[in-house]
Amino acid sequence: MAKKSLTIKPKLAFYWAASCGGCEITITELGMRLVDLSEKVDIVFWPAAMDFKYADVEAMQDQEIDFCFFNGAIRNSENEHMAYLLRQKSKILISFGSCSHLGGIPGLANLFDVETLLERVFDEAPSLDDSRGTRPKLKTKVPEGEIEIPRLYTQVKSLAQTIAVDYFMPGCPPVVDQVWKVMQLILAGQLPSKGSIIGVNPKTNCDECERKKGESGMHITQFHRPHEIQLDPERCFLTQGVICCGTATRAGCGLPCVKANMPCRGCYGAPDGVLDQGAKLISAIAALVDTTDVQKIQEILDQIADPVGLSYRFGLADSYLSDLKYKK
């Protein structure tokens, strides 16, 4: 365990790139613990909560920020610029949340090319009003001068696909207890070696789950979506024909979804030793299908709605599938 010497009051920064804001909400959910924390650290940049400007960061010395929590994926030129800038200004850069860690939900856009995405959003979406067909321009002249918006990239990337990252905190969002655990490690100077995934457990969610798995193994002959059946809160979802990603997912969240009678969707990413979460899940599910008849296997697997979205919901941008697409 590497002990790290800190300034008396460590300087913290929080930033969001291509993000829904949920990771920022987790910080605020620290509640009164955030008040305690604010007495022990200086928050020097947190645009989601306070009026900081990019110029404030640009004016800092290199490595002036002790710990920067960076959430959100890299989707456009602004995200990328801020990733480079915060890397330069931070001693320790923490990839915070699934979007930053693995590309997250925004990474599912990598299934489509940019033109298809723009067509959907600006030309076809049913909710469009008279603005239908109007595309944003990179530069627009207004009476006050010229407005420039960020350039959309063809591919969503994780933070580590863009710049060097020191630590990773998975989760969509990371649960508040995990955030607090990491804050304690920081304050105690007890972060593990660089490159680690922090605040989590090395096992899988299935290892920690107390639902009954059944004594004679699992045999799936029909898949259901969670809303299609009455879910038994005591039994493993898989024994009920509902896909749960627990077996391919790192533990550490405390299973809030499973405890709320919803299957795990895999937001903590792959556990140790698994290189591709989606491939691991598909292989685990396929092994449970209860027939050797090829046509029947196909019929059963065809019942799975959106297999890519299910298996790679949070990690497509960082997966083997992404590699295949972009190595062409």
Choosing from 23, 65, 163, 310, the residue that interacts with ligand SF4 (CB under 6 A) is 23
| From 2-10, 112-120, 239-247, 293-301, span contacting ligand SF4 (CB under 6 A) | 239-247
Q: Compute the distance between CA of residue 268 and CA of residue 314 in angstroms, rounded to an integer.
A: 8
Residue for token pair 């604010």: 38
Smallest CA-to-CA distance from 278 within 238, 224, 318 is with 318
Task: Assess 278 for contact with ligand SF4 (CB under 6 A).
Answer: no
- CA 41 to the chain's CA centroid: 26
Choosing from 244, 282, 285, 300, the residue that interacts with ligand SF4 (CB under 6 A) is 244
Binding to ligand SF4, residues 142-201 (CB under 6 A): 172-173
Tokens (6 digits) for 278: 């989606």
Choosing from 238, 248, 281, 300, the residue that interacts with ligand SF4 (CB under 6 A) is 238
Task: Assess 285 for contact with ligand SF4 (CB under 6 A).
Answer: no
CB of 162 to ligand SF4, least distance (A): 16
Binding to ligand SF4, residues 31-90 (CB under 6 A): 71-72
Task: Assess 205 for contact with ligand SF4 (CB under 6 A).
Answer: yes
Task: Spell 279-315 as b/e; 16+ CB within 10 A means b.
Answer: bbbbebbeebbeeeeeeeeeebeeeeeeeeebbbbbb
| From 77-85, 123-131, 148-156, 208-216, span contacting ligand SF4 (CB under 6 A) | 208-216
Choosing from 133, 195, 256, 309, the residue that interacts with ligand SF4 (CB under 6 A) is 256
Binding mask 218-237 for ligand SF4 (x = CB under 6 A): ------------------xx
Question: Are 86 and 68 within 8 A, CB to CB?
Answer: yes
Choosing from 60, 267, 270, 285, the residue that interacts with ligand SF4 (CB under 6 A) is 267
Choosing from 14, 167, 268, 312, the residue that interacts with ligand SF4 (CB under 6 A) is 268
Q: Compute the distance between CA of residue 73 and CA of residue 191 in angstroms, rounded to an integer.
A: 24
Smallest CA-to-CA distance from 175 within 229, 113, 96, 60 is with 96
Angle in degrees, CA 199, 174, 121, rounded to 5:
150
Task: Assess 17 for contact with ligand SF4 (CB under 6 A).
Answer: no
Choosing from 65, 74, 97, 276, the residue that interacts with ligand SF4 (CB under 6 A) is 97
Beta-strand (E) ranges in 72-229?
74-76, 90-96, 139-142, 145-148, 152-157, 167-169
Choosing from 13, 206, 220, 310, the residue that interacts with ligand SF4 (CB under 6 A) is 206
Smallest CA-to-CA distance from 177 within 69, 26, 23 is with 26
Q: Compute the distance between CA of residue 38 and CA of residue 50 in angstroms, rounded to an integer.
A: 14
CB of 266 to ligand SF4, least distance (A): 6
Q: Is the CB of 288 or the CB of 297 nearer to ligand SF4? A: 288
DSSP, collapsed to helix, strand or coil, labels residue 70 as: strand
Name the residues that contact ligand SF4, by CB under 6 A. 19-20, 22-23, 71-72, 97-99, 104-105, 172-173, 205-206, 209, 211, 213, 236-238, 244, 246-247, 249, 253, 255-258, 263-268
